[in-house]
Amino acid sequence: MATTISPLAPKEYATLPPIAGVKLATAEAGIRYKNRTDVLLATFDKGTTVAGVFTKSKCPSAPVEWCRDNLKGGKVRALVVNSGNANAFTGKNGRDSTKLTASIASKSVGCKASEIFLASTGVIGEPLDATKFNRVMDGLVAGGKSDLWQEAAKAIMTTDTFPKVATATAKLGDATVTINGIAKGAGMIAPDMATMLSFIFTDAPLSASALQGLLSSGVEDTFNAVTIDGDTSTSDTLLAFATGAAAEYGAPAIARANDRRLVAFRKAFQAVLANLAEQVARDGEGARKLVEIIVEGAKTKRSARKIAMSIANSPLVKTAIAGEDANWGRVVMAVGKAGEPADRDKLSIWFGDTRVAHRGARDPDYDEKQVSAYMKNPEVTLRVGLGLGPGRDRVMTCDLTKAYVEINGDYRS
Per-residue pLDDT tens over the stretch 3-52: 689 999 999 999 999 999 999 999 999 998 888 899 999 999 999 999 99
104 and 125, same domain (yes or no): yes
Q: Compute the distance between CA of residue 24 and CA of residue 145 in angstroms, rounded to an integer.
A: 5
276 and 322, same domain (yes or no): no
Quick check: 188 pLDDT over 60? no
Measured CA to CA in angstroms, residue 39 lies from 62, 179, 256, 285, 348 at distances of 17, 22, 34, 22, 49
Q: Which CATH number goes with the domain that contains 242?
A: 3.60.70.12
307 and 247, same domain (yes or no): no
| 285 belongs to an annotated ligand binding site | yes
Can you give the pLDDT at residue 122? 84
Torsional sign, CA 197, 203, 209, 214 = negative
Q: Compute the distance between CA of residue 140 and CA of residue 26 in angstroms, rounded to an integer.
A: 7
Describe the crossing of helices 62-70 and 91-109 by its angle, rounded to 10 degrees.
Answer: 50
Percent of the chain with pLDDT over 70: 96
Query: What is the side-by-side strand order in the sheet with 22-27?
Result: 22-27, 39-44, 78-85, 116-123
Amino acid at 370: Q
Quick check: 334 pLDDT over 80? yes
**What are the pLDDT digits (tens) for 67-81?**
999 999 999 999 999
Residue 14 forms part of a structural domain = no
Q: Compute the distance between CA of residue 268 and CA of residue 280 in angstroms, rounded to an integer.
A: 19
44 and 178, same domain (yes or no): yes
Residue 3 forms part of a structural domain = no
Residue 59 forms part of a structural domain = yes
211 and 323, same domain (yes or no): no
Q: Which CATH number goes with the domain that contains 389?
A: 3.10.20.340
Q: Compute the distance between CA of residue 367 and CA of residue 354 in angstroms, rounded to an integer.
A: 8
Residue 27 forms part of a structural domain = yes
Query: What average pLDDT does the structure give for the chain?
Result: 93
Q: CB-based contacts of 181: which residues, under 8 Å, 6+ apart?
A: 165, 166, 167, 198, 199, 200, 201, 272, 273, 275, 276
Quick check: 95 pLDDT over 90? yes
pLDDT band at 194 (very low <50, low <70, confident <90, very high): very low
pLDDT band at 225 (very low <50, low <70, confident <90, very high): very high
Assign 289 to helix, strand or coil.
coil
For residues 140-146, average pLDDT: 98
Chain centroid to CA 101: 24
Can you give the pLDDT at residue 235? 82
Measured CA to CA in angstroms, residue 136 lies from 21, 27, 141, 325 at distances of 22, 7, 9, 51
221 or 410, higher pLDDT: 221
Q: Which of 195, 222, 227, 237 is catalytic?
A: 195
Residue 10 forms part of a structural domain = no
Q: What are phi and psi of 275, to 5 degrees?
A: -60, -50
| 184 belongs to an annotated ligand binding site | yes
203 and 103, same domain (yes or no): yes
Look at residues 249, 282, 315 and tell me which one is the last residue of a structural domain. Answer: 282
Residue 12 forms part of a structural domain = no
β-pairing verdict for 379-385 and 290-298: parallel
| 369 belongs to an annotated ligand binding site | no
For residues 272-280, average pLDDT: 95
Parent domain of 370: 290-409
Contact status, residue 220 vs residue 205, Cβ threshold 8 Å: no
91 and 228, same domain (yes or no): yes
Q: Compute the distance between CA of residue 273 and CA of residue 199 in angstroms, rounded to an integer.
A: 10
Can you give the pLDDT at residue 413? 45
Chain centroid to CA 106: 27
Can you give the pLDDT at residue 211? 98
Can you give the pLDDT at residue 229? 73
Look at residues 255, 282, 309 and tell me which one is the last residue of a structural domain. Answer: 282
- For residues 69, 239, 237, 394, the Cα torsion angle rounded to the nearest 10 degrees is 130
244 and 393, same domain (yes or no): no
Describe the crossing of helices 315-322 and 328-337 by its angle, rounded to 10 degrees.
Answer: 160
| 158 belongs to an annotated ligand binding site | yes
For residues 253-276, average pLDDT: 98
162 and 229, same domain (yes or no): yes
Quick check: 57 pLDDT over 90? no
For residues 321-342, average pLDDT: 96
Residue 5 forms part of a structural domain = no
Can you give the pLDDT at residue 189? 54
Amino acid at 74: G
Look at residues 282, 304, 334 and tell me which one is the last residue of a structural domain. Answer: 282
Number of domains in the chain: 2
For residues 147-171, average pLDDT: 95
Closest among 333, 327, 276, 341 to 310, alpha carbons compared: 333
Residue 245 forms part of a structural domain = yes
Assign 206 to helix, strand or coil.
strand
Contact status, residue 14 vs residue 117, Cβ threshold 8 Å: no
Beta-carbon-side half-sphere exposure of residue 153 (alpha carbons within 13 Å): 26
271 and 322, same domain (yes or no): no
Contact status, residue 207 vs residue 251, Cβ threshold 8 Å: no
261 and 381, same domain (yes or no): no
Amino acid at 192: D
pLDDT band at 187 (very low <50, low <70, confident <90, very high): low
162 and 128, same domain (yes or no): yes
Quick check: 150 pLDDT over 50? yes
Q: Compute the distance between CA of residue 144 and CA of residue 235 in angstroms, rounded to an integer.
A: 26
Q: CB-based contacts of 328: which residues, under 8 Å, 6+ apart?
A: 349, 351, 356, 357
Least confident stretch, 30-34, 79-83, 277-281, 338-342 = 30-34
Is residue 397 among the annotated active site residues?
no
Torsional sign, CA 385, 391, 394, 395 = negative
The neighbour count for residue 103, using CB atoms within 10 Å, is 15
Can you give the pLDDT at residue 367? 86
For residues 255-268, average pLDDT: 98
Q: CB-based contacts of 412: which residues, under 8 Å, 6+ apart?
A: 123
For residues 236-247, average pLDDT: 96
